[in-house]
């Protein structure tokens, strides 16, 4: 499964993404062409589009990784916990991750903010990811009488809370980030139905 061929491919993919981000940070997303990235990463443009569906797709990668982290936490959570508690812990973990990569994430954020195009498109978390989380939660308690829309609403609000926290944190306007995050997630949990 992890032959030389696959390892080489993955290595080149990561290297291409890193090269792309380096150029984006240096010159801004709009001033970097696919050809530039390919020249720097020493691959053909045709190959670039085999790794990434589009130039935008490179930007979407970090979001994918972060949602994957949350999904992983939810999957590994104690089945006895409520949905709200599960999400709270999962996003807390994501918060810890973000704290540990502040400089890097801050740079990515700057790239997105400075590009007209990216500001419009890569604004939030795609709804499919939220749906994915909701489905995972629903499967944990199959005989729950809770209407499905409440679950989806809880997920959406948790995501929204995290997004707002994320923005504030990267702007450096929060004194005690993790406590604030906990406060925000608690605000959307509503344990008392």
- Footprint of DNA (CB under 7 A): 3-6, 8-9, 12, 32-35, 42-47, 49-51, 53-56
- Helix boundaries (H) for the chain: 4-27, 34-41, 45-51, 55-76, 83-100, 102-114, 116-121, 127-140, 148-170, 177-189
Sole binder of a second copy in the list 120, 142, 143, 145 (CB under 8 A): 120
15-74 positions binding a second copy, by CB under 8 A:
60
Degrees, nearest 5: CA angle 163-58-166: 15
Q: How far apart are CA 69 and CA 65, in angstroms?
A: 6
* Binding at 120: pick from DNA, a second copy, none (beta carbon under 5-8 Å per type): a second copy
Tokens representing residue 43 in the block = 């691959």
190 near a second copy (CB under 8 A): yes
Rounded distance between C-alpha atoms, residue 87 and residue 140, angstroms: 13
Q: Which does 4 bind (CB under 5 to 8 A by kind): DNA, a second copy, none?
A: DNA
Name the site residues for a second copy (rule: CB under 8 A): 60, 119-121, 123-128, 149-150, 152-153, 156-157, 159-161, 163-165, 167-168, 180, 184, 187-188, 190
């Amino acid at each position: 499964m992890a032959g030389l061929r696959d390892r080489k491919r993955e290595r080149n993919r990561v290297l291409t993404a890193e090269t792309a981000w380096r150029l984006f940070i240096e010159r801004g997303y709009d001033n970097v062409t696919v050809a530039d990235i390919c020249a720097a990463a020493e691959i053909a443009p045709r190959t670039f589009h085999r790794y990434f569906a589009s130039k935008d797709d490179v930007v979407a990668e970090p979001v994918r990784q972060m949602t994957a982290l949350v999904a992983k936490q939810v999957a590994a959570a104690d089945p006895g916990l409520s949905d709200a508690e599960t999400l709270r812990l999962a996003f807390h973990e994501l918060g810890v991750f973000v704290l540990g990569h502040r400089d890097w994430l801050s740079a990515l954020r700057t790239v997105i903010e400075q590009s007209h195009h990216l500001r419009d498109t890569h604004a939030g978390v795609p709804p499919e990811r939220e749906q994915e989380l909701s489905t995972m939660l629903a499967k944990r308690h199959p005989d729950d009488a809770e209407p499905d829309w409440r679950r989806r609403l809880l997920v959406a609000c948790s995501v929204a809370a995290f997004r707002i926290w994320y923005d504030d944190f990267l702007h450096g306007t929060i004194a005690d980030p993790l406590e604030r995050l906990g406060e925000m997630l608690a605000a959307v949990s509503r344990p008392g139905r």
